Amino acid sequence: MYFTKCDRMIRCRFCGKRAVEVLKQYRLSLCKDCYVKFYERQVERAVKKYKVVKSGERVLACVSGGKDSSAMLAVMKSLSETADFKLEAMFIDLGIGDYSEKSLNVAEKLCKKLDVKLNVVRLSDYGIRLENISTKRKKCSACGTAKRYLMNRFARENGFDCVATGHTSDDILAFFFKNWLSGNFSWSAKFLPRTEGFDKMVTKVRPLYFSSERENLLYCVCRGVPFLNENCPYAPSKDVWKDIIYDIERKKPGFKRCFVMNLVKYLKLKTHTGSNGESYRYCRLCGEITTSDICAFCRLKQRNAPVK
Ligand code: SF4
Ligand code: ZN
Ligand minimally distant from the alpha carbon of residue 293? 2
pLDDT tens, position by position, for the chain (308 residues)? 777 766 678 999 999 999 999 999 899 999 999 999 999 999 999 999 999 999 999 999 999 999 999 999 999 999 999 999 999 999 999 999 999 999 999 999 999 999 999 999 999 999 998 988 888 888 999 999 999 999 999 999 999 999 999 999 999 999 888 888 888 777 666 789 999 999 999 999 999 999 999 999 999 999 999 999 999 999 988 888 889 999 999 999 999 999 999 988 888 776 544 445 567 899 999 999 998 999 999 999 998 876 55
- For atom 3 of ligand 1, the residue with the nearest CA is 140
pTM of structure: 0.91
What pLDDT does residue 273 have? 44
Pocket flag, ligand 1, residue 143 (CB < 6 Å): yes
Helix, strand or coil for residue 10? coil
What pLDDT does residue 6 have? 65
- Evaluate the CA torsion angle 125, 128, 131, 136 in order and state its sign: negative
- For atom 7 of ligand 1, the residue with the nearest CA is 232
Neighbour-count burial for 92-105, b at 16+ CB within 10 Å, e otherwise: bbbbbeebbeebbe
Ligand minimally distant from the alpha carbon of residue 96? 1
Pocket flag, ligand 1, residue 232 (CB < 6 Å): yes
What pLDDT does residue 19 have? 92
What pLDDT does residue 308 have? 55
Neighbour-count burial for 135-171, b at 16+ CB within 10 Å, e otherwise: eeeebbebbebbbebbbbbbbbeeebbbbbbbbbbbb
**Rounded to whole angstroms, how far apart are CA atoms 35 and 29?**
9
How far, rounded to the nearest angstrom, does the alpha carbon of residue 273 sit from its chain's CA centroid? 19
What pLDDT does residue 303 have? 87
H or E stretch at 175: helix 169-181
Tell which one of 68, 96, 234, 300 to mutate to probe ligand 1, the residue whose CB is within 8 A of the most ligand atoms.
234
What pLDDT does residue 176 have? 86
In the 3-class helix/strand/coil scheme, how is 233-258 assigned residue by residue?
CCCCCCCHHHHHHHHHHHHCCCHHHH
* Cα of 304 from ligand 2 centre, angstroms: 14
- For atom 6 of ligand 1, the residue with the nearest CA is 140
Pocket flag, ligand 1, residue 234 (CB < 6 Å): yes
* Cα of 285 from ligand 2 centre, angstroms: 5
* Cα of 298 from ligand 2 centre, angstroms: 4
Helix, strand or coil for residue 88? strand
> Which numbered atom of ligand 1 lies nearest the CA of 64?
7
Ligand minimally distant from the alpha carbon of residue 294? 2
Ligand minimally distant from the alpha carbon of residue 144? 1
> Which numbered atom of ligand 1 lies nearest the CA of 232?
2
* Cα of 283 from ligand 2 centre, angstroms: 5
Pocket flag, ligand 1, residue 235 (CB < 6 Å): yes
**Rounded to whole angstroms, how far apart are CA atoms 286 and 294?**
8
For residue 277, give every residue at least 6 positions away whose Cβ sits within 8 Å of its Cβ, in sequence order, or none.
none
